[in-house]
A and B are shown apart, each in its own frame.
Chain A
Amino acid sequence: DTGVSQDPRHKITKRGQNVTFRCDPISEHNRLYWYRQTLGQGPEFLTYFQNEAQLEKSRLLSDRFSAERPKGSFSTLEIQRTEQGDSAMYLCASSLVVGGVPEAFFGQGTRLTVV
């Protein structure tokens, strides 16, 4: 296992199109996080899963954003009707939470450009 994998690394889309990003966490990790990051800012928390359960989704930026983790393994983040303001880096992280303090590992991110 080489770590958290995100696909694609780059995505250019036209305004109004839907996009979907995929995150493959480290295989034994039970927690998965999604973040958005714009230039010069820290990662902005969007949502996270514990296994297949989405435990926090109130931070999703709008109802155009949705995430799934159907089998508790990989996850997808979908943005519907993209807007230019959605252009950003989308980061995924995973961790193993077993009583102790989890160390999160991040993927390299998907850079979205909406034109």
Chain B
Amino acid sequence: SQQGEEDPQALSIQEGENATMNCSYKTSINNLQWYRQNSGRGLVHLILIRSNEREKHSGRLRVTLDTSKKSSSLLITASRAADTASYFCADARQLTFGSGTQLTVLP
């Protein structure tokens, strides 16, 4: 299935530091989306990167896509305590999710 697996499972950093999360697929991926989920809430769409794009920026977010390595990364720069959440990647077509990365940003 087109299920991404995020890595690491958990990440704890200090406010102001950058956070990098990775997503890998066993099968080929095309367009890929990243989502964020605060505890006990629904998922919020962060950014879409298309298969013909290698890098995309949105505010403090930077996403890369390497279709040959079947992987993507999400970088959050200058992290804030409010960035504490779980982050998921998903194939944009099938919208299946992995277990996510739990990011904790310490004030």
Which residues on A are within 8 Å of B, measured CB to CB? 4, 33, 35, 40-45, 48, 89, 91, 93, 95, 101-109, 111
Are the CB atoms of B92 and A42 closer together than 8 Å?
no
Are the CB atoms of B41 and A109 closer together than 8 Å?
yes
Given A42-B88, A103-B33, A108-B97 contact (CB < 8 Å): no
Given A101-B48, A103-B48, A109-B42 contact (CB < 8 Å): yes
A35 to B88, CA, bound (A): 14
- With an 8 Å Cβ cutoff, the count of chain B residues facing the other chain is 24
A111 to B42, CA, bound (A): 11
Scan residues 70-104 of chain B and give those whose CB is less than 8 A from a CB of chain A. Answer: 86, 88, 92-100, 102
Nearest-CB distance from B88 to chain A (Å)? 5
Q: Is B62 an interface residue (CB 8 A)?
A: no
Interface SS of B by simple majority: loop
Cβ–Cβ < 8 Å partners of A89 in chain B: 40
Q: Is B31 an interface residue (CB 8 A)?
A: yes
Are the CB atoms of B97 and A105 closer together than 8 Å?
no
Cβ–Cβ < 8 Å partners of B42 in chain A: 4, 91, 93, 106-109
Are the CB atoms of A106 and B99 closer together than 8 Å?
no
Which residues on B are within 8 Å of A, measured CB to CB? 6, 31, 33, 35, 40-45, 48, 50, 86, 88, 92-100, 102
Nearest-CB distance from B102 to chain A (Å)? 8
Are the CB atoms of B96 and A45 closer together than 8 Å?
yes
Are the CB atoms of B45 and A105 closer together than 8 Å?
yes
Q: Which of B6, B31, B99 contacts A101 (CB 8 A)?
A: B31
Given A42-B88, A103-B33, A109-B42, A93-B50 contact (CB < 8 Å): no
Cβ–Cβ < 8 Å partners of B99 in chain A: 40-42
A93 to B86, CA, bound (A): 17
